[in-house]
Amino acid sequence: MATTRSAPLLKHLLARLNPARSVTYMPRPGDGTPRAVTLIPGDGIGPLVTGAVEQVMEAMHAPVYFEKYEVYGDMKAVPVEVLDSIRKNKVCLKGGLATPMGGGVNSLNVQLRKELDLYASLVNCFNLPGLPTRHENVDIVVIRENTEGEYSGLEHEVVPGVVESLKRRWNEIERTDKGDRSLLQIFDALVVVCGWQGTQYTRRREEFINLIWDLFSLAVDLGFGIFVITKFCSERIAKYAFEYAYLNNRKKVTAVHKANIMKLADGLFLESCREVATRYPGIKYNEIIVDNCCMQLVSKPEQFDVMVTPNLYGNLVANTAAGIAGGTGVMPGGMVLSY
């Protein structure tokens, strides 16, 4: 993750070295004095990747020094001092942070996005010299809305065993003595009506309690698929995508959607993209349904330039594009905020 601004001077210098390549937004170079960067090595291969960056910076004698913080995906929250460091430095280099499956553990990645309003995720996927791939002339920038939609983490437990969530969730209801006692009271009321006695009473009591628990387990094994898309965030990410294309001499912006099914939510996203597109007549604009997009990416990736997507689709599209170009571990990317 990197919170960044564009740097016209640095962009100009890099473009002179290789005019065919566009440049991802970079931090302002300042006056040459050392600049602090927050560093979170993270989990998995994160320390290996960020360690390589440190070595490169040291070899280049780059005017950068790192404020390193140990943050891991199984923590309950991002430490306050880490958030303060990122806000102060404006730039953060972050390795991957794993999110444990289940157990109600919140994703620290989502927390960082929310706390810092990292509304745009940008991944630049292109062929690297010396790294053979199946496709040539791949140069795709995937810009993904990062603060709402299916990955916004809006989920809660309405009552025990009933979850209102972003996707369907299966819960196993836990049988308790308290629950048995409550059901027994209901059964005793039925006994008076039905006139059960002796062994008939005992047998039917057990059958009743077991049946109710089984039915209750079936009834609560559900969640509701909900997500929020707003015009404000859709326009903001669309504007960022077109502005990026304009600043980097990109020729086309493609909006990825599923508005043929999600007519209101993705329809609002497309409406916002179309409105913003009218302000950039020099940039071609088109739209593609996400499932067709995935097929086109693996068959003819060279047709894509800048792609703008809602949250969930962007995750799929960016990883697919990165895999085509050589892998997620070697493709540059970051998350951006306005400040």
3-class state of residue 169 by DSSP: coil
Distance from C-alpha of 235 to C-alpha of 47, rounded to nearest angstrom: 36
Domain that holds residue 176: 168-225
Length of the chain: 339
Looking at the fold, whether 49 and 185 belong to one and the same domain comes out as no
pLDDT tens string for the chain (339 positions)?
Answer: 544 433 444 444 444 444 444 444 444 445 567 889 999 998 888 899 889 999 999 998 888 999 999 988 888 888 999 999 999 999 999 988 887 665 555 788 888 888 888 899 999 999 988 888 888 899 999 999 988 877 665 555 555 655 555 443 344 456 567 666 666 666 666 666 566 665 666 667 777 767 766 655 544 444 545 667 888 889 999 999 999 999 999 999 999 999 998 888 889 899 999 999 999 999 999 999 999 999 999 999 999 999 999 988 999 999 999 999 988 878 888 888 765
Looking at the fold, whether 132 and 236 belong to one and the same domain comes out as yes
Q: Is residue 23 included in any domain, yes or no?
A: no
Looking at the fold, whether 194 and 256 belong to one and the same domain comes out as no
Distance from C-alpha of 336 to C-alpha of 143, rounded to nearest angstrom: 10
Q: Is residue 179 included in any domain, yes or no?
A: yes
* Confidence (pLDDT) at 74: 80
Which amino acid, 22?
S
Looking at the fold, whether 178 and 205 belong to one and the same domain comes out as yes
Q: Is residue 16 included in any domain, yes or no?
A: no
Is there a contact between 325 and 302 (Cβ–Cβ < 8 Å)?
A: no
Distance from C-alpha of 68 to C-alpha of 93, rounded to nearest angstrom: 9
- Pair of tokens at residue 288: 């593609």
Is there a contact between 119 and 336 (Cβ–Cβ < 8 Å)?
A: yes
Looking at the fold, whether 207 and 242 belong to one and the same domain comes out as no
* Confidence (pLDDT) at 295: 94
By DSSP bridging, strand 92-94 and strand 35-40 are: parallel
Domain boundary among 206, 225, 244: 225
CATH classification of the domain holding 58: 3.40.50
Distance from C-alpha of 26 to C-alpha of 2, rounded to nearest angstrom: 9
Q: Is residue 265 included in any domain, yes or no?
A: yes
Task: Give how many domains the chain has, as a whole number.
Answer: 3
Looking at the fold, whether 290 and 221 belong to one and the same domain comes out as no
Assessment of whether the complete model's pTM goes beyond 0.75 = no
Q: Is residue 163 included in any domain, yes or no?
A: no
Q: Is residue 57 included in any domain, yes or no?
A: yes
Looking at the fold, whether 98 and 207 belong to one and the same domain comes out as no
Looking at the fold, whether 251 and 311 belong to one and the same domain comes out as yes
Q: Is residue 1 included in any domain, yes or no?
A: no
CA nearest 257: which of 284, 237, 282?
Answer: 237
CATH classification of the domain holding 140: 3.40.718.10
* Confidence (pLDDT) at 72: 86
Looking at the fold, whether 274 and 149 belong to one and the same domain comes out as yes
Looking at the fold, whether 231 and 219 belong to one and the same domain comes out as no
Cα Rg of the chain, angstroms: 26
Looking at the fold, whether 63 and 89 belong to one and the same domain comes out as yes
Looking at the fold, whether 313 and 326 belong to one and the same domain comes out as yes
Distance from C-alpha of 41 to C-alpha of 53, rounded to nearest angstrom: 11
By DSSP bridging, strand 333-336 and strand 120-126 are: antiparallel
Q: Is residue 7 included in any domain, yes or no?
A: no
